[in-house]
Amino acid sequence: MQFRKTTFHTYLSKIVIIFFTACLGFVSTSGWTTTPRFDEGIDYKRLNKNHRYKKTKKIEVVEFFGLFCPHCRKFNPAITDWSKNAPENVIFMKLHVPFRELAHQRLYFTLKKMNLADKYINLLFREIQDNRLPLKNYLSIITWAEDNNINTNDFEENWNSDAVKSSMKEATLLMKTFEIRGVPQIIVDGEFLTSPAMAGSNKRLITLLDYLISLRIR
């Protein structure tokens, strides 16, 4: 009697295992997974113009942003973390648009030329958006630089440099080429355009970037 009971329990256990295995197989083949699905025309769009920025051998990811933009500020931590861990075959570039105050664009590219943009970008988001600091002309900007222990001689030299003026011109031209009318927006290798608004969230956009990069690798 004990033998039959044990045999029955063993048989029942096997049935349960087979049932759950079949369920898992159904889940994996039916598309019910945690992997996000991205749709062209909704989450991103394919561009007619294949125009790359630096024309390197790497896959270019270009973010258009503005210091005045609250959405850019919220997105910045996510895209910064992603860029630090991006694959070796990917190059990330951040371009300030000439919307609102042209001085903001020039300020950003000046700091970038001095390798100080990453250090001061969060402070500038706060100063411009929270404190309403009127960084609208050279006098107000050089005063801000001095208050934040930035070498004013170096700052002035870079502010007036051809390199900074060229960066501003290139960013503005590329913005017009891709018809960027809002920020933040991202161009992947000159072929795809997307944004947090299109993807639905900052987190989902980060996953989408990896997906779009994989399309360029194929």
- Please report, for the domain that includes residue 87, its CATH number: 3.40.30.10
pLDDT of the residue at 34: 52
Q: Which helix (H) or strand (E) holds 91?
A: strand 90-96
110 falls within a domain:
yes
Q: How far apart are CA 67 and CA 16, in angstroms?
A: 58
24 falls within a domain:
yes
> Could you tell me if 73 and 116 lie in one domain?
yes
> Could you tell me if 64 and 126 lie in one domain?
yes
> Could you tell me if 5 and 58 lie in one domain?
no
pLDDT of the residue at 63: 98
pLDDT of the residue at 57: 82
- Full-model pTM: 0.81
pLDDT of the residue at 51: 63
Counted domains in the chain: 2
> Could you tell me if 29 and 54 lie in one domain?
no
Q: Which helix (H) or strand (E) holds 169?
A: helix 162-177
Helix axes 117-125, 70-84, angle to 10 degrees: 150
> Could you tell me if 66 and 138 lie in one domain?
yes
> Could you tell me if 28 and 50 lie in one domain?
no
> Could you tell me if 65 and 8 lie in one domain?
no
Other CB atoms within 10 A of residue 11 CB: 9
pLDDT of the residue at 22: 43
Q: Which domain holds residue 27?
A: 1-33
pLDDT of the residue at 19: 46
pLDDT of the residue at 16: 43
pLDDT of the residue at 126: 98
How many CA atoms are closer than 13 Å to the CA of 122, on its beta-carbon side? 8
Tens digit of each residue's pLDDT, the chain (218 residues): 444 444 545 554 544 444 444 444 434 444 444 557 899 999 999 997 666 666 678 999 999 999 999 999 999 999 999 999 999 999 999 999 998 889 999 999 999 999 999 999 999 999 999 999 989 999 999 999 999 999 999 999 999 999 999 999 999 999 999 999 999 999 999 999 999 999 999 999 999 999 999 998 75
> Could you tell me if 76 and 143 lie in one domain?
yes
